[in-house]
Amino acid sequence: MKSWWVILFSLALGSAQAQQSEKQFIRQLFDSSLVQGQSWPMLEHLCKKIGHRLSGSPQAQQAVLYTRTQMLRLGFDSVWLQPVMVPVWVRGPKEKAYLLVSKRTSGGYIQQQKIPVEVLALGGSIATPPGGLQAQVIEVAGLEALKKMRPEEVQNKIVFLNEAFDPRHISTFESYGHCVANRAWGAKEAGAKGAAGVIVRSMTHRIDAFPHTGAMQYAEGGRKIPAAAISTLHAEQLSKLLKEKNEVELYLEMHCESRPDTISYNVVGQINGSSPQARIIAVGGHLDSWDVGEGAHDDGVGCVHSIEALRLLKANGYKAKNHLRAIMFMNEENGLRGAVEYARLADVNKEDHLAAIESDRGGFSPRAFNVEADSSVIAGLQPWVPLLSPYGINSIQAGASGADVGRLKGKSELLMGFVPDSQRYFDFHHANSDVLEAVNKRELELGSAAIAALLYLIDQR
């Protein structure tokens, strides 16, 4: 496999003429995306006509139908649905939360203060008991610190996991990677130790009043306690109150519930390749989102990138040798059921993937492509960098592809991930602020063109 890429690139490098025509066609793809692209109207539809699209919701179903219709309308050769059972979690009425602070005044009196805070139940959490939950808050630096605590320290308390993003990571995904275990496993750990509930500092650098939800999981058969994210602004405020030696209780009311699994779908569209040895070059994003905001950057953008990349190639008259496939994965956020099913069917149907690319890092200015492969394969891809660098893509580097196409590990020759600028991603991620207005039209269009160019370059080899 390694030598295959290396040999092909050595051949390609020899041909200055081929390089020139590649350069010109990539320019044409970018022009086309920036002048008459369809990225923006498609994202606008997903965000404004449909809205957020949690697995199992009516909106997720609308998004299945919309993207299916869209790919048919664009003349893809075939468009099909892959049925998959997905979990159904419903938030119910908006959460209520406030702090009850007992301050000792200079005169020795105790003053009670009630301070509203913004929280969002974490996806998968149970509700609070009828009448809400009220308990003393104990701040814990993070999951590792919690693991070391004795049960009596947290028993019947609400554990407040307040691990902040480390701002020193240049890629914000690294900061997220270091913190997200608090959200995923905080309830499991705190619950096992007898805590009454858990609140987790929102997964963002930004200090504001938007809580950021996301997936959490209980231990199989373990004790379940309500789990919520608190906005960074209120996490800071709460931490300050606790540091000032106040006794702080949190009142929390959440009405969420898990319901029986329901049927949903991956949506797959394909433009057939002309070669008798055609393999599959796939690109995907996930159609589901959290149930707040509009799922714009996460991951309406990835769905739009995928459909638009194929459309751009088709609209510019490109006849691919390989099958070009756009995949709208269902249920990335809270189960990955769509990705698992796609990979299973790829096996069953003996589908041969030359490449699978994921876009699930937002619709910002393109900067790089990640490759999940050993260094010799990545070295073989470097001749593409000068073809992409005029558009701001300066690196083809070792790195994760994505949660969905990652399921094709060992099944796809190449696994790649689109890497846009990461600075703003976690400002919006899983929050009410992840709306169309947070996306810049040109940045989105550059991403679609970058992915189209990558598909083209892979297909040309």
Pairwise CA distance, residues 177 & 347, whole Å: 30
Strand partners, 161: 140, 200
Strands 323-329 and 257-271: antiparallel
Q: Give how many residues touch its own copies by CB under 8 A.
A: 27
172 binds its own copies (CB under 8 A): yes
Given 392, 399, 411, 461, the residue binding its own copies (CB under 8 A): 392
Q: Given the rule CB under 8 A, which of 85-93, 180-188, 246-254, 439-447 is the region that contacts its own copies? A: 439-447
Least distance in Å: CB of 439 to its own copies? Answer: 11
Given 93, 108, 130, 167, the residue binding its own copies (CB under 8 A): 167
DSSP category for residue 277: T
Chain center to CA of 181: 15
Which residues make Cβ contacts (< 8 Å) with residue 337, sequence separation at least 6?
55, 84, 85, 86, 87, 330, 331
Q: Given the rule CB under 8 A, which of 289-297, 303-311, 369-377, 435-443 is the region that contacts its own copies? A: 435-443
DSSP category for residue 2: H
Pairwise CA distance, residues 45 & 208, whole Å: 28
Residue (236 or 421) nearer to its own copies, CB: 421
Q: Match 């299973």 to its residue by tokens.
A: 344
Sheet holding 119-121, edge to edge: 110-116, 96-104, 247-253, 133-140, 158-161, 197-201, 227-230, 119-121
Task: Report the SS3 class of residue 443.
Answer: helix
Residue (290 or 425) nearer to its own copies, CB: 425
Least distance in Å: CB of 50 to its own copies? Answer: 22
Q: Given the rule CB under 8 A, which of 79-87, 162-170, 210-218, 285-293 is the region that contacts its own copies? A: 162-170
Q: Given the rule CB under 8 A, which of 263-271, 306-314, 372-380, 420-428 is the region that contacts its own copies? A: 420-428
442 binds its own copies (CB under 8 A): yes
Least distance in Å: CB of 293 to its own copies? Answer: 17
427 binds its own copies (CB under 8 A): yes
Q: Given the rule CB under 8 A, which of 137-145, 223-231, 270-278, 388-396 is the region that contacts its own copies? A: 388-396
Least distance in Å: CB of 206 to its own copies? Answer: 7
361 binds its own copies (CB under 8 A): no
Pairwise CA distance, residues 149 & 23, whole Å: 59
Given 223, 224, 441, 461, the residue binding its own copies (CB under 8 A): 441
| Residue 228 near residue 120 (C-beta atoms within 8 A) | yes
Q: Match 């301050």 to its residue by tokens.
A: 103
41 binds its own copies (CB under 8 A): no
Q: Given the rule CB under 8 A, which of 56-64, 88-96, 384-392, 410-418 is the region that contacts its own copies? A: 384-392
CA distances to 99, 108, 117, 156 from 103, in Å: 12, 9, 18, 21
Pairwise CA distance, residues 355 & 282, whole Å: 6
Residue (442 or 461) nearer to its own copies, CB: 442
Footprint on residues 204-243 left by its own copies (CB under 8 A):
205-206
Residues of this chain that interact with its own copies (CB under 8 A) are 30-31, 34-35, 167-168, 170, 172, 205-206, 365, 367, 389-392, 394-395, 421, 423-424, 427, 440-443, 446
